């Protein structure tokens, strides 16, 4: 009897080992790896959430911003799963996250940009940060928090200083929000992975990150750029690095400009983005940047572009909406 148990255990071990090898060989088609732990905002059971930052078209007051979001959803024929808001340093979170919660969207709140990391670690901004904690607590609902995003960007070293300073600030801010239903999104620029050692210097550690993100754009014709980059090309290195980690992946900012010489090129960029996401199954949320700052990222810069964006937003794997109470 003992010998039989030993034999069965040996066969089971071989089967498990074979499964692991198969998953590794399958590569990007293997699906999401097991998560180390759940967070306040776990990814959808299948597919990915679709969201956007919706820039001001009619002004920045509450009524104008609500109108812009409602219009985008009407153009797409669907609700956004994630609504992205930006909180300038020393500003309040404001009314929009609560409004999103009431309308069934998940708030993605980006904050902390240009807050000096050394001053944060020293506690000089704790009063301000605790005011944000109070605002988030008052929502009584899980939210996504993206602290000090694009820390690797040009000129950001003036307030980021070093990777070690950034990590210390992240952990300090994380501690202030302890106990609240928040999920933390770590988000460098996608180009940061051109220097993997440097981008890893900003990594706060598995315990302090719930989602891994990257921002990336097709800058064709903007900032003197002449290279047209597909969605897949932009996020290839990020995906390779991040997909082996036990975290869901997010693209918190992305978009494309037009090509004046090819009126359908931006439409095709959106269509290709949908195909690329099929090869990136560990990306569980993608959030676009519908704005003209600093480049014309508007999703409807032409009717053809809007058609392409609508087709992308309508893909079955991106149709998932948050469950009630999520």
**C-beta of residue 92 within 8 angstroms of C-beta of residue 130:** no
pTM: 0.89
Contacts of 104 by beta carbon, 8 Å cutoff, 6+ apart: 79, 321, 322, 324
For the chain, the straight-line distance linking the first and the last C-alpha, in angstroms and rounded, comes to: 49
User: How high is the pLDDT of residue 37?
Assistant: 53
Q: State the Cα–Cα distance between residues 276 and 317, nearest whole angstrom.
A: 12
Local structure of 293: helix, strand or coil? coil
Average pLDDT, the chain: 90
By percentage, how much of the chain surpasses pLDDT 90?
85
Q: Compute the residue count for the chain.
A: 326
Sorted by sequence, the CB contacts under 8 Å of residue 12 that are 6+ apart come out as: none
In whole angstroms, give the CA distance from residue 201 to residue 162. Answer: 8
For the domain with range 35-318, which CATH number is right: 3.40.190.10, 3.40.50.2300, 3.90.1150.10, 3.20.20.80? 3.20.20.80
Strand partners, 51: 82, 287
For 174-195, what is each residue's pLDDT tens digit?
999 999 999 999 999 999 999 9
What are residue 83's phi and psi, to 5 degrees? Answer: -115, 125
């Amino acid at each position: 009897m003992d010998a039989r148990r030993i034999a069965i255990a040996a066969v089971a071990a071989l089967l498990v080992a074979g499964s692991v090898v198969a998953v590794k060989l399958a590569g990007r088609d293997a699906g999401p790896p097991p998560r180390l732990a759940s967070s306040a905002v776990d990814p959808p059971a299948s597919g990915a959430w679709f969201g956007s930052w919706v820039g001001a078209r009619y002004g920045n007051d509450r009524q104008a911003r609500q109108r812009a979001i409602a219009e985008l959803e009407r153009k797409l024929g669907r609700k956004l799963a994630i609504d992205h808001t930006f909180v300038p340093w020393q500003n309040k979170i404001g009314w929009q996250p609560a409004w999103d919660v009431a309308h069934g969207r998940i708030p993605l709140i980006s904050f902390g940009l240009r807050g000096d990391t050394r001053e944060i670690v020293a506690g000089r901004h704790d009063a301000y940060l605790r005011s944000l904690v109070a605002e988030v607590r008052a929502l009584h609902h899980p939210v996504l928090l993206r602290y000090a995003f694009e820390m690797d960007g040009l000129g950001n070293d003036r307030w980021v200083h070093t990777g070690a300073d950034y990590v210390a600030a992240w952990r300090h801010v994380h501690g202030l929000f302890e106990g609240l239903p928040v999920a933390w999104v770590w988000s460098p620029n996608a180009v940061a992975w051109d220097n993997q050692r440097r981008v890893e210097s900003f990594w706060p550690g598995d315990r302090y990150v719930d989602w891994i993100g990257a921002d990336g754009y097709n800058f064709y014709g903007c900032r003197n750029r002449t290279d047209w980059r597909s969605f897949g090309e932009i996020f290839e290195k990020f995906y390779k690095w991040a997909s082996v980690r036990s975290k869901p992946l997010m693209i918190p900012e992305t978009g494309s400009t037009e090509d004046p010489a090819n009126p359908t090129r931006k439409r095709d960029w959106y269509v290709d983005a949908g195909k690329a996401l099929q090869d990136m199954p560990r990306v569980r949320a993608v959030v676009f940047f519908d704005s003209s700052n600093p480049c014309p990222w508007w999703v409807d810069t032409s009717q053809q572009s809007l058609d392409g964006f609508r087709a992308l937003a309508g893909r079955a794997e991106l149709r998932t909406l948050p469950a009630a109470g999520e």
